[in-house]
Amino acid sequence: MDRVYNGEFQTGVTPWRIMEEGGAYSPSLRKTDNSHWADYVLRELATEYNIGSIVFKLLQY
């Protein structure tokens, strides 16, 4: 995420938006929409089958 926040976009595509509190760099929580558009590692994490399976099982109630 640091690369994305520093404006380094591996894919050449920027995330839809990055919302921050407290200036350019802040230890506070940041919200980034579609960060997987900008970074191949984040894309792999977001689409990883095992993580998706765990989330699916956790959301079944």
| Span 3-57, pLDDT tens digits | 888 888 999 998 887 776 655 556 667 788 899 999 999 999 989 999 999 999 9
pLDDT of residue 32: 84
Res 27: pLDDT: 63
Q: Do 20 and 28 touch, CB atoms closer than 8 A? A: yes
What confidence score (pLDDT) does residue 43 get?
Answer: 93
23 vs 58: CA distance, rounded Å: 35
What is the pLDDT at residue 26? 60
Nearest to 5, CA basis, from 35, 28, 41: 35
